[in-house]
Amino acid sequence: MNIITTTPPRTDGPGTRERPSREEAEAAIRTLLLWAGDDPEREGLRDTPSRVARAYREFFVGYDTDPVAVLERTFEETDGYDEIVLLRDIRLESTCEHHMAPIIGRVHVAYLPHRRVVGISKLARVVDAYAKRLQIQEKLTAQIANTIQDVLEPRGVAVVIEAAHQCMTTRGVHKPGVTMVTSRMLGAFRDNAATRRELLAMIGNRGSTILSE
């Protein structure tokens, strides 16, 4: 088996601002607790700043992940396989950059190989690398598709995201049960209607079940 490694430039790395210390982060969380109207020194909240700081490192681990590097290891030995590769129903957990509220849903990622393929777990890792940051769904959809296109150079890439935004369901207009759908089609998926229809048939009508699990 021939393995190819490439070193393309980063497409969307983390910012260059220095990260505050853990102590500074916990102090900011205490301030927010006071702003909410509670007492950060009471028993139930005494360890909350530490817990929230740890949770934030988990929520936003994508800032420490290079999505291009995730895709660098590819495989040539495919016996000429050139049909759609689809990873369906990837769990999405992200955070709205406007209100820092959860975005929960599913991502479908597909590509048409051209000479090489990548391990399917790497596609899910690319989703997480971008999702585990402050996001808007439209940008997230484009980032995933553009990175796969740039690194793998396939004949086409498609990304479809279906998600519920808690900034809409738990505040503001308070509209639960609403799902936002975005898509990014590149190459053959954009230019060839038959290929696009084949992909959408493979994904299926999943909007009614996406959040029921």
Active-site residue (options: 97, 153, 166, 198):
97
User: How large is the average pLDDT for residues 150-160?
Assistant: 97
User: How large is the average pLDDT for residues 173-179?
Assistant: 90
Active-site residue (options: 96, 114, 166, 198):
96
Local confidence band at 5 (pLDDT 50, 70, 90 cut-offs) = very low
Active-site residue (options: 108, 135, 162, 165):
165
Local confidence band at 80 (pLDDT 50, 70, 90 cut-offs) = confident
Local confidence band at 67 (pLDDT 50, 70, 90 cut-offs) = very high
Q: How does DSSP assign the chain, residue by residue?
A: --EEE--PPPSSPPP-SPPPPHHHHHHHHHHHHHHHT--TTSGGGTTHHHHHHHHHHHHTGGGG--HHHHT-EEE--STT--S-EEEEEEEEEEEETTT--EEEEEEEEEEE-SS-EE-HHHHHHHHHHHHSSEE-HHHHHHHHHHHHHHHH--SEEEEEEEEEEHHHHSSTT--TT--EEEEEEEEHHHH-HHHHHHHHHHH-S-TTTTT--
- Single-letter amino acid code for the residue at 97: E
Task: Report percent pLDDT > 70 for the chain.
Answer: 88
Of the candidates 111, 122, 81, 127, the residue with the CA atom closest to the CA atom of residue 187: 111
Q: Per residue in 88-119, pLDDT tens?
A: 999 999 999 999 999 999 999 999 999 899 99
Local confidence band at 79 (pLDDT 50, 70, 90 cut-offs) = confident
pTM, 2 dp:
0.86
Instruction: Report the C-alpha gap between 65 and 128 in whole angstroms.
Output: 9
Assess whether pLDDT exceeds 60 at residue 77.
yes
Q: Is 174 a catalytic residue?
A: no
Q: Per residue in 18-56, pLDDT tens?
A: 889 999 999 999 999 999 999 999 999 999 999 999 999
Task: Say what the pLDDT of residue 188 is.
Answer: 97
Instruction: Report the C-alpha gap between 74 and 202 in whole angstroms.
Output: 24
Average pLDDT value for the chain:
89
User: How large is the average pLDDT for residues 69-78?
Assistant: 90
Q: Is 98 a catalytic residue?
A: yes
Active-site residue (options: 26, 135, 137, 143):
137
Active-site residue (options: 99, 114, 166, 198):
99
Q: Is 165 a catalytic residue?
A: yes
Task: Say what the pLDDT of residue 202 is.
Answer: 95
Q: Is 108 a catalytic residue?
A: no
Task: Say what the pLDDT of residue 15 is.
Answer: 56
Assess whether pLDDT exceeds 70 at residue 1.
no
